[in-house]
Amino acid sequence: MPHLVAIVHSYYDEDPRVRRAVSAATGAGWQVDVLALRRPADEPIGTLDGATVRRLPVRRKQGAGLISYLREYARFALSARSALHDIHAASPVSVVHVNSVPDWLILAATSLRRRAGVPIVLDLHEASPEFFAMRFASAGRPFATRAAARLVVGIVAWAERASVRAADWILVTTPRMLARLKRVVPSRAANMQTLLNVPELRRFRSSAHAARRWASGGELRLVYAGALTPTYELDVVIRGLAILRSATPSVNATLTIAGRGESESVLRELAAELKIASAVHFVGRVPMDDVPKIIADADIALAPTRRDTFTDLTISNKVYEGMAVERLVVASRLATLDDLVPEDAAIRYESGSPQSFADAVRSAHGDPSRRTQAVASARLLIESGANWESESASYVKLIGRLAVEGRPMR
């Protein structure tokens, strides 16, 4: 039986992309071990998705400073390296699948690659240099902090190139990320491919949930399910919600926020300041399997990503999840969204503009034919290939080939 080890610096049960890959591998008959973070209440070893999940003694410090992040990454990489060698000693590993960030988490697997020739797949969930620049070198920070952050961003860019060169195969989440990476490391272009971040239809399907009539009971329900971090402009959404509720005529819109993160307290304060706290419901993080139900209970699924050079390379899986459950999707306009999703399949608004958000929601609310067309177009997109059942075939084929052929020729 081929043996896959997946390494991810996150809580495995909360990472849809890694869980989809692991489920595809176990479904194809692979033995799978996962090395991930551990929360205080987690057992060190458990099983999920047919895999053995080994939770290493490292916790995520979301919203921490740059030095804290780097220390956390280093601790996890060292722990994962040791655990990987122990796993291989007990049952030889066929392929290692390393998930970023950080890109240099690949160092946890390179010694096993040198010693035993085990091929490494590097899955770049994000463009790390752009991510670190957005997160730590923004104009709103003190100059000295920005200067130090720019130095670190340069190091991260070097680490990205080195990590890509060290990998045997590289996966990215969007065509724009693929084009960017081919420019950055052209020597490895032949060993790169896109693996879209799309939902599993077996989890996200509208038929599993009761139908909801649009704005039933006179309440227009908006929902956001995801991390509460500065990347997602929920502040813009809350301000837009206040505009909708106070305008003439008003729209009785409410917002459910399912998730956790560093921005929660700020968002709660903003809702209170705008006197709409009763219309904004924070329900905390919900298990991955419960996300489809949260979306299905709403009228509009939101994908409010703050636009910058980092996010223009990406597309939120919230777009595809809303489409799969056959809910109207309202999303901030991003370059990759325009690349991959037809204009009539999702309602766009201009990132950073509460008024644009409010106008987009009001327009959709008053135009049933546009809503019907959007949901139909989105359904066609999902059924024609924007789903994990379609994407997973190429992933299983890739790891199967690497297990048989070993490291690709350089």
Tell me the three state secondary structure of residue 31. strand
Residues, the chain:
410
Label residue 188 by pLDDT band (50, 70, 90).
very high
Q: What is the DSSP letter of 343?
A: G
Pick the range with the lowest mean pLDDT from 161-170, 196-205, 263-272, 350-359. Answer: 196-205
What is the β-pairing status of strands 95-99 and 45-48?
A: unpaired
E strand intervals along 198-278: 220-225, 253-258
Helix (H, G, I), strand (E, B) or coil at 146: helix
Per-residue pLDDT averaged across 280-287, rounded? 95
CA dist 323 and 382 (Å) reads: 7
pLDDT, greater one: 199 or 134: 199
- pTM of the full structure: 0.92
pLDDT at 145: 58
SS3 at position 28: coil
Are 106 and 8 within 8 A, CB to CB?
no
Three-state DSSP at 332 gives strand
Residue 158 token pair: 């070097």
Contact 141, 147 (CB under 8 A): no
Query: If you average pLDDT over residues 192-202, what whole number do you get?
Result: 95
Grouping H, G, I as helix, E, B as strand and the rest as coil, residue 250 is: coil
Least confident range of 20-34, 58-72, 257-271, 309-323: 58-72
State yes or no: pLDDT of 357 exceeds 50.
yes
For 98, half-sphere exposure in the C-beta direction (CA atoms, 13 angstrom radius) is 30
pLDDT at 320 over 80: yes
Confidence of residue 267 (pLDDT cuts 50, 70, 90): very high
| Strand 51-56 relative to strand 45-48, pairing | antiparallel
Write the pLDDT tens digit of every residue in 138-178: 555 554 456 666 788 888 899 999 999 999 999 999 999 99
Tell me which amino acid residue 308 is: D
Q: In what order do the strands lie in the sheet with 3-8?
A: 45-48, 51-56, 31-37, 3-8, 95-99, 120-124, 169-172, 192-194
Span 221-231, pLDDT tens digits: 999 999 999 99
CA angle 174–177–182, rounded 5-degree value? 130
81 DSSP 8-state letter: H
On the question of pLDDT at 135 being above 90, the answer is no
At 240, is the pLDDT very low, low, confident or very high (cuts 50, 70, 90)? very high
Structure confidence at residue 210 as a pLDDT band (50, 70, 90): confident
Per-residue pLDDT, averaged over 18-29, amounts to 97
Q: What percent of the chain has pLDDT over 90?
A: 83
> Nearest to residue 200, comparing CAs of 125, 291, 104, 108?
291
- Residue 206: the pLDDT is 73
Whether 321 contacts 146, CB under 8 Å: no
At 386-410, the pLDDT tens digits run: 999 999 999 999 999 999 987 655 4
